[in-house]
Amino acid sequence: MKKHRLTGLWLFCFSVWSVGCCLISAAEEVGEDRQYFNEKEVPEDLRDLRNIQKALQETLPQARAATVSIDLGGGSGSGVIVSGKGLVLTAAHVSAGVGKEMTVIMEDGTKYKAVSLGLVASTDAAMVQIMEEGVFPYVELDRGDSASLGDWVYALGHSGGFEKERGVGVRIGRLVRMAEQTINSDCNLIGGDSGGPLFNMKGQLIGIHSRVGASLEQNMHVPLREFLKNWDAMLAKEFVGKGPFAQEAVAFLGVSTEDREEGGVVIKEVGDKTPAADAGLQEGDVILMLNGNELDGAEQFSASLKGFKPGQKVKLKILRDDKEQEVEVELGEK
């Protein structure tokens, strides 16, 4: 099999070659455990096909039980449970932030409250935690990073949103393109599958669905190694990396201010139902200090607010009716 069709700039050839070698040697290390049909270029006869079918059907019930729909109110994606306590892996553009509330729906329609943990914005990896008590069905991870180009795989997901009568959809395919941060399969995906699991024929999780291209064979998944690499950070609710799959929430106070000659900034307007209003800030108040640092203009004030995260508390020293006072405000999310 011609494994490597190299395209693109010549300059990158060396790095392409070296990454390719790593993958090949990794595959050799786990060679003994590999299913025999993955060692063949293509299945040779009906027996090989029946063995692929058998492997898929033996592992499918557990995979289906652990695959969930994630309902975000306005839209929905998919996810997969990876621990008995209800830890869910999904895509960053599904969870779309840290600490967000959502509903996880099992194939039988049971709903659980859940909240998003951390995510990797650059590669579309994310974690969600079910917040209710229970012993949840879960799948095993391919911790050995054994996935290799041409392997037979299957994809699950709640295409187009949860539909009880239909249940989870399963699609078969092969790994057709392998890159460091993305793997492609020819398992057909569509909207709603995002965040759903990609399995090898042992029923181990090897990736999470991310996006599709124009052709039916361009179905892209985040490789599991990207999750393993950022596991602790995601558990710790960190927002890792920058876009394009999620934008970090911007801290929000809820006032418009203007410069003041004597220093500080003057509040021109306090928005309704904003953190500023909740903290009792009023039009005409002068903000002199933010967490002990003097302010010297509206622009600088707004820039320093961007250094905080939603939910953080800041101390403002304000001047009202010629009296200085201190106000604590919990910043909101824009």
Partner 1 sequence: MIKSRKWKLSWVRSRGIPILLSLVVSAASAQQQVGQLEGEFRLNGKETWKAFDPVREVLQESSAVVYDGWKSIAYGVIVSSDGYLVTKASEIEGVEELSVRVNREHFKKVRVVSSTVEWDVALLKVEGQGLPVIKWAEPEPAHGTWVISNGSTTRRDRRLRVGIISANARKVGEGRAPVVLGVTLDTSGEEEGLPVKEVQKDSGASEAGLESGDVILEMEGRPVRSMEDLQELLGSKEPGDRIQVRLRRDGEGLDLEVELKRRESVFEERKTRNDAMSGRVSKRRSDFPRVLQTDLPLSVRSVGGPLLNLEGHCVGMNIARANRCETYAIPAKELRAIVDNLIGKEKAGSAAE
Q: Which of residues 169-228 bind partner 1 (CB under 8 A)?
A: 169-182, 186-195, 209-214, 216-218, 220
Whichever of 174 and 320 has its CB closer to partner 1, that residue is 174
**Least distance to partner 1 from the beta carbon of 70, Å?**
9
Taking CB under 8 A as the rule, does residue 80 contact partner 1? Answer: no
**Least distance to partner 1 from the beta carbon of 279, Å?**
28
The single residue among 29, 31, 49, 315 that binds partner 1, judged by CB under 8 A, is: 49
**Least distance to partner 1 from the beta carbon of 55, Å?**
9
CA atoms within 13 A on the CB side of 101: 4
Asked whether the bond before 197 is cis by omega within 30 degrees of 0, the reply is no
Candidates 7-15, 257-265, 270-278, 321-329; binding stretch for partner 1 (CB under 8 A)? 7-15
What is the SS3 assignment for 65? helix
Whichever of 86 and 195 has its CB closer to partner 1, that residue is 195
> Which residue type does 137 have?
P
**Least distance to partner 1 from the beta carbon of 255, Å?**
26
Taking CB under 8 A as the rule, does residue 294 contact partner 1? Answer: no
Distance in angstroms (rounded) separating the CA atoms of residues 97 and 95: 6
**Least distance to partner 1 from the beta carbon of 234, Å?**
19
What is the SS3 assignment for 268? strand
What is the separation of C-alpha 27 from the centre of its chain, rounded to a whole number of angstroms?
27
Binding to partner 1 in span 85-104, by CB under 8 A: 91, 93-94, 96
The single residue among 85, 143, 166, 242 that binds partner 1, judged by CB under 8 A, is: 166
Whichever of 247 and 325 has its CB closer to partner 1, that residue is 247
Distance in angstroms (rounded) separating the CA atoms of residues 327 and 240: 32
Taking CB under 8 A as the rule, does residue 36 contact partner 1? Answer: no
Q: Which of 179, 168, 256, 255 is nearest to 210 (CA)?
A: 179
Q: What's the chain's Rg over C-alpha atoms?
A: 25
Burial of 45 (0-12, 13-18, 19+ CB in 10 A): exposed
